[in-house]
Each structure stands twice: as C-alpha cells, then as structure tokens.
Amino acid sequence: MSMIVDRRNVDFLLYEVFDTQKILSAPIYQNFDRDAVTAILDMAQAIAEDKYFSCSADIDVNEPRFVDGGVLVPSVIKDALAAYAEAGFFAATFSEEWGGMQLPWHIYVQISNLFTCANTSINSYAFLTVANANVINTFGSDAQQALYLPPMLEGRWFGTMCLSEPQAGSSLADIKTKAEPTEDDYYRITGTKMWISGGDQDISENIIHLVLARIPGGPPGVKGISLFIVPKIRVESGRSLGELNNVGLSGLIHKMGNRGTTNTILNFGEGGECRGYLIGEPHKGLQYMFHMMNEARIAVGQGSVMSAQAGYLYSLDYARQRPQGRLPGEKEPSSPQVTIIEHADVKRMLMAQKAYVEGGAALIAYCAQLIDQEKLVTDSTEKKRLALLLEILTPVAKSWPSEFCLEANKLAIQVLGGYGYTREYPVERFYRDNRLNLIHEGTHAIHGIDLLGRKVRMQGGAALSVFLEEISKSVEDGAGYESIAPFASTLQNTITNLIEASEAVLAEDSLRRQLANATIYLDAFGHVVIAWMWLLQSIAATEGLSGNDVVDAHFYEGKLKACRFFFTYELPKTKAQFDLVASLDDTCLNAEATHFIGV
Amino acid sequence: MKVIVPVKRVIDYNVKARVKPDQSGVDLANVKMSMNPFDEIAVEEAIRMKETGTVTEIIAVSIGPQQAQETIRTALAMGADRGILVKTDETVEPLAVAKILKAIVEQEKPELVMLGKQAIDDDCNQTGQMLAALLDWPQGTFASEVKFTDGKLQVTREIDGGLQTIEINMPAVVTTDLRLNEPRYASLPNIMKAKKKPIDMKSPEDYEVDITPRLNVLKVTEPAKREAGVKVESAAELVKKLREEAGVI
C-alpha cells in the first residue's frame, strides 16, 4: 500500500460522495474526464512518492541553513520543486492565457493532498506561490499580471505572504510597516515582517512578497492597510532581474516541525530603498489579502488532514505486521503472538484515526468542490448561498483538522508505542509537522471568535441558515436508509443543541461573555460538520454495497464502521460542549491573573 | 525510423503483493496498477531517440484488459505518437504476446522493437527473446546503453560480471535494463494532449493468434518468511557454518 494516499478513498470522495462528474461536465472543464483525472493523479503520485516522500526524513534533520546573510536550501527540495514545475502544476488551475490547464480547483486539491502528505514542508513553497499568483491574478493590474504571473506559474519565481510583525501577529490592526509614496510608480517600504514562510531561499530566481503596509495618513486599524508587491530582486523591463531590492534577511526561525520550509524575519528597506508596488486601491489591502488567507486557511486544514493521514497509514501498516502479546483469555505462553491490530484498543486507535482523517478529508474535498461550484453557477442567489456556506465552513475546515487530526497523530505514535516516540520512525515527525496548524493562519482561538463572533451572525444569520439547510437535506436523505436513519436522527438532535447554544450566546448582552467559550463552540460545531461528512459517506457506502460489485465490500463496510464510530464515540461529546456554551459559563473569563499561582 | 514499444500493465512496484487465499494467484482487487517500470525505460529511450532525430514515430502497444488503455495513454503522455490495444481478458503468456507482437510488426514494419527485459509481475524475461526468434531478427537484451550509427545498433548489455557491447543489424529487438535511463514523468499538458492521440482497438483474433495458456499454474505462495540470524564468534566458525550448514562453500 502507498504510504501517502488511499486512492480508493480519493475516488470514493470524487465520484461517490460528491459529484465530480457534474463539475467536469461544465463547458470550461470539457477536456477533463475521469480517465484524465486518474492519469494526472497517477503522475502526481509518482512524483510525490519519488521526489517528495523519499527525502521527508532527510530535510527534517538537514534543514535549510542561514549562511552569510542568505539561505542554503538542501538540493533535494530544489529537485522536488523542479519536478513539480516541470509537470506543469504551478499553472495547473490558471487559464490557458497564462499557460495553464484550467484544472478544476477540487481536483487540484486532491493533487496537493498527495504532495502535502508526502512532504508538507516542500509543498508549502508551491502552495504559497500559487496562492500569491491567485491574488495578483484577481486584484493586480494588467501590467502587474503580465509582469509577475508567467515566471511564477512556470515555477521560476516563488511567492510569499507577509502579514505578521514581531509585535503584531494575531492582531493585524497593529502592524506598523510603512509604505511612503514616491514620485515614481512605487512606494518606499520600511518595516519588519516575521514568520514569513519561504521568505528567503535559494531555490527560485526571484521571490515575490505580498506585503501588508500602511500608507501614512490613512485610517488607523485594519481599514488603513494596503497591499504591495515587493520583489526580492528588482524587475527591470523585459523581466530581466536588476539590483537587490533591500529585503534583508535577519535570520531563520528554528521550528519544531515543517523544517524544510524556511521561516524568516525580513527587514524591508533597512539597507536602502525597498520598492513596493500597490495592488488595487489604497487601504483595501486586507480585503485582497483575505482572498489568499481563505485559500490558505482551507489549505492549513488540508495540511493537517494530510499529516494525520501520513501517521494513520504508517501506524496501520505497522499494526498489521507487529506481533505482540496474546488476546485476553489466552493463557498458553507458547501460543503464537498476535499482530497488534488484533487488540481491541489498537483497533480503537486506528478507527479514531480513520474517522478523523477521512472525515477531515471529506470536508476539505467538499469545500474544494464548493469553490468550483461557486465559480460555475450563474444564478446569483445560488452563488450567494455557496459563498455563505464557504464563509461559515472556512474556520471549521481550518480548525477542526488542526485539533483532531493532531489527535490522530498522537494516536499514531501510541500505536507504535516506544518506537513511535523515537526518531527512527516517522510518526513523531508527522506530529511535529502537524502541530503548526493550530497556530498559523489564525490561531485556533481566532477561528473560534471568527465563527461565533462573525460567521454565525453575518447577514442576520444567513450563513448559518444555509449551513443548516444543507445539513438538513443530508439528514433527510439519511433517514431514508434503515441502517443510517438512527445516525440521521442523532445528527438532527445535535443540530438542535447547536442552534440552542448559538441562540443563547446571541441573547447575551456582553460581547466578552459571548465569546469567552468560542473555542469550545468551534470544536463542537466542527464535530457536527464532520458527523455530516460521515453521514454523507455512509450513504454513499450503503449505495456502493447495494450494487453487484462485491470487490469493494470491505472498503464500504469500513466506511460504515467509521461512521458508526464517529456517531457513537465522538458526537455525543458535543452535548456537554454545547450545554457549556449555552450556559455562558464565566469560570475562565473571570479568572484573574493572580488566580493562577496566587500572586 | 519507426519504433514499436510494447508496454505491460502490471501491479504497481510500490504495492506489496498479497497472494489470494486459494493460492491461485496474486490478489489484484483494488490494487494500483501501472506501467511495467522496464517498459517505461523502453518508452523513454524511444522518446530520446526521437528527440535526437533518429526515430520518427513511436507506437505503444499493450495486450491486456480494457484498462491497459491507461498504460498506453501513459506512454502517449510521455511522448509516444499512437497506440494499439490488443484487448483480451484472458491470461496471456509471453509466447502469445510474442506471436501477437510479431503480427503487429509484420503490419507496421518498424525497424526496432524496444521493450522491458522483463515484467515485474511474472518476471518471465522471455517476450523479447521469443519475439526476436519468431521474427528471426537480431536481439540486444539487457541494454544499459543503445547507440544508433550507420544503420546499426550498438547495444551495451548488462551481463554477469560486467558489460558486453555488441553491434547488431536492423531491424532488431532490444530489451531494456534498469540503468539505461531514468524515465521522465508525464506533464499535465502532455497528459491532456495524449487524450487526443489515436489508439487502435484490436483483439487477438484480428491477428489470428491462439492465446490459450500453455502453462498450468499449480499454486502461488508468498516467499518464506526470513528467519532470525545467529551471531558467530569467529571467522572460523562462519566458514564452518557456510561449509557444513549452508553448503555454499
């Protein structure tokens, strides 16, 4: 079996749970059919296994180094990204005008899954470049697009996003980086950015930073932030590279995991003039950046699912081979040992991993196809519905996997026991890689506040209503199957808890108290979403089992088992969580700093 | 020159093969299949010869079930020009494959047939040699280097204990070894272009070849599990064990 993907599950999601065929039937995607998608996934898997997976342990130990003011990145990372570029993946989703293939986004997400699972820290360079190019493609001027997109989409120039500063991480309103207008077509950028992934490297010929900065005289807070293109090396006419643009590298940040991706502190304009080119209008930078951030947030969730999948597949394979102990009641010492997958608690740990990983993978696949659907629908009401649904699901798609797929990584280590805690086995590395996802692109808490403080109440609760309508449709569908009806009914009851908790929060006057338990709400809300994903999967599996093809019976039965696991072991936890949220408990809110150690 | 490259759809080299419980063969249900890696090397070599102007047309041929069309598409996406699928759901042994290939060669009249030295599923290492015999063509097997000069082929062969370079007349059959080249990945644009390249659909009957298996498979079993070793105290003890227990010296 492959250690980076269960291709049967990919096909299940694309063709049985969700309706890829329908998206592919749209005129703009007419070149793609199932055979083509399979061939593309085969090719991507081969590159991911040969070039990405093979060096994942190596670059964790031999990480990029800071030498003489620059970065030395291991050559295996360059080779991997060269293969990715050669295969045409940087441009894949872009239109033919930019040398792209107009690949549907949800197919691209399945391709990214392969590279992320194989080696998440190499894939970050490509992800950031494509997301950056998407911003320029959406908001940049024609001239900016013509200048920057071709080399980025050929994989020759890479991109970054520069938001945080040493004193302003979660609180973007407090960023200080300045952009002063000049008499030329550029602004003079000065300031320090921190936590910049891919902020420097010696892989690409140039680096295109997207930088949030303030134009002096603009409004305070987030309403005075503008977005700039800041190249590492100045770009002259004819796209030739000129002088360095004074983006100084202060140093590399030494991380717990994800070590192949450089993480940097950058000083803009420290050694001389640093030129930045405004994107769109002044003071609308955050709005533009959100385009990249929303994409990035779903990708963070995706990365988390994939780090967990790496651990799940590894620990599953291990459990099927490792003989240890005998089953309860077997008293004969000379009887052969069983493989550990025979032990009930190992099965529980693997089933939990399956439920988290495949539940999370379904959510990512669902969000990805919503993005394609939103692009395809012409009816404005339906377009708005899909946009609202994505709005409310984005914090969940980012956060639920970050929390619970990390739990899966914990269980993968546990399945290997002592070996799992050693660096000779990869499962501890998967855990370290995944641990980042709770933190970047908005911490877990930020997304709780985003969900409960903004998304649930936006446009008079419109996003929540669309979400509830969609989930209710699935509950109705599920109720039509004898074996699934009990789960459908459980989910219906849980939705009632969710609505009651939401209403209780909105009825509270104090905003601080409303949001005090937002993280608990986020976790419980996420469980409801994942239960929904499992309901959809169990419907598809039941349909699959009713066919004549018995080849896949084990696969489908496994899906039904995992669905049952999630509804039996996991979903009931939300009752306590929603009750707590509804009670507006203020234990934590009203704890004083002195309550912790008495001083 | 025209080249035919036969490509076989086999269990993917990354897949851990499991034997069916009734020992009738390897369990292929839900298993990833892909092009035989040695055939990939043959496709790559043909493409390189086309890139240098030696070859004008590459025809990828596969004999197998409908899904073998995907294997042909992979070859087309790498750079082959067209395909022929000889469709059958029966087991085809090397001799039957060689007979079908002979018939295709007689129709297409290539100057070179280049194929993997063996397939990684049955490891037969017979098809190329049988085809050369049936056609009465020269053969250069286990090639680690192929050069075309003055209408002849110089083939460097990987043999026990070293390399042997031979010169053979054309037309010829060449079978490829692991070190000949490193095959390219298909690219996204080329996968899409390959969809438009033609594949002829044929059957063994079209070539009047009887593919009935000549061999009976009695049973298929997994290799014996490797047992734990022992530590020896001295070189003398090792030699003794090798002589008396292992019987290898």
**Ordered DSSP codes for A32-46:** --HHHHHHHHHHHHH
Exposure string of A220-233, with b = 16+ CB inside 10 Å and e = fewer, is eebebbbbbbbbbb
Please count the other Cβ atoms lying within 10 Å of the Cβ belonging to residue A514. Answer: 21
Taken in order A370, A372, A377, A378, is the CA torsion positive or negative?
A: positive
Residue in chain B lying closest to A46 (CA): B185
Q: Is B9 in CB contact (< 8 Å) with chain A?
A: no
Predicted confidence at residue B224, as pLDDT, reads 85
Identify the bridge partners of residue A159 per DSSP, sorted by sequence position.
A208
**How many angstroms separate the CA atoms of A344 and A352, rounded?**
12
**How many angstroms separate the CA atoms of A84 and A36, rounded?**
18
Radius of gyration of chain A (CA): 25
Give the CA diameter of chain B.
67
Q: Is the per-residue pLDDT at B20 higher than 70? A: yes
Residues of B in contact with A47 (CB under 8 A): 185
Query: What amino acid is encoded at A480 in this protein?
Result: G
Q: Is A244 in CB contact (< 8 Å) with chain B?
A: no
Predicted confidence at residue A527, as pLDDT, reads 98
- Say whether pTM exceeds 0.90: yes
Short-list B96, B42, B92, B93, CA closest to B65: B92
Residues of B in contact with A86 (CB under 8 A): 185, 187
User: Among the residues of chain B, which ranges form H helices?
Assistant: 37-51, 68-78, 94-108, 127-135, 188-194, 235-241
The string of DSSP codes covering A19-30 is -HHHHHTSGGGT
Query: What amino acid is encoded at A289 in this protein?
Result: M
Split chain A (599 residues) into runs of 10 and give each run's mean pLDDT.
93 96 94 94 96 97 94 97 98 94 96 98 97 96 97 98 95 96 97 97 98 97 96 93 96 96 96 97 94 86 98 98 95 94 98 98 97 95 96 97 98 98 98 97 96 97 98 98 97 98 97 98 98 98 85 92 98 98 98 96
Predicted confidence at residue B15, as pLDDT, reads 84
Contact by Cβ (8 Å): A563, A540: no
User: Do B189 and A88 count as a contact with CB atoms less than 8 A apart?
Assistant: yes
**How many angstroms separate the CA atoms of B189 and A153, rounded?**
13
Which of B16, B29, B34 lies nearest to residue A42, judging by beta carbons? Answer: B34
Which of A36, A92, A552 lies nearest to residue B195, judging by beta carbons? Answer: A36
N- to C-terminal Cα distance for chain A?
A: 56
User: Do B14 and A551 count as a contact with CB atoms less than 8 A apart?
Assistant: no
Give the DSSP H or E segment for B199.
Answer: strand B199-202
Short-list A285, A89, A66, A325, CA closest to A189: A285
Which of B15, B186, B189 lies nearest to residue A101, judging by beta carbons? Answer: B189
Taken in order B78, B80, B82, B84, is the CA torsion positive or negative?
A: negative
Predicted confidence at residue A361, as pLDDT, reads 98
Number of cross-chain residue pairs from A and B with Cβ atoms under 8 Å apart: 58
User: Do B32 and A38 count as a contact with CB atoms less than 8 A apart?
Assistant: no
> A490 CA to chain B: closest CA distance, Å?
33
Predicted confidence at residue B223, as pLDDT, reads 87
Q: Is A8 in CB contact (< 8 Å) with chain B?
A: yes
Q: How many residues does chain A have?
A: 599
**How many angstroms separate the CA atoms of A269 and A228, rounded?**
14
**How many angstroms separate the CA atoms of B96 and B208, rounded?**
11
Contact by Cβ (8 Å): A404, A524: no
State whether residue A226 is helix, strand or coil.
strand
Residue in chain A lying closest to B37 (CA): A46
Predicted confidence at residue A550, as pLDDT, reads 65
Contacts of residue A203, defined as CB under 8 A and 6 or more positions apart, other chains included, come to A73, A77, A78, A81, A125, A158
User: Do B188 and A40 count as a contact with CB atoms less than 8 A apart?
Assistant: yes
Contact by Cβ (8 Å): A7, B32: yes
> B186 CA to chain A: closest CA distance, Å?
7
Give the CA diameter of chain A.
88
Contact by Cβ (8 Å): A192, A268: yes
Contacts of residue A289, defined as CB under 8 A and 6 or more positions apart, other chains included, come to A135, A161, A163, A210, A212, A227
Q: What is the DSSP letter of A455?
A: I
CA atoms within 13 Å, Cβ hemisphere of B125:
6
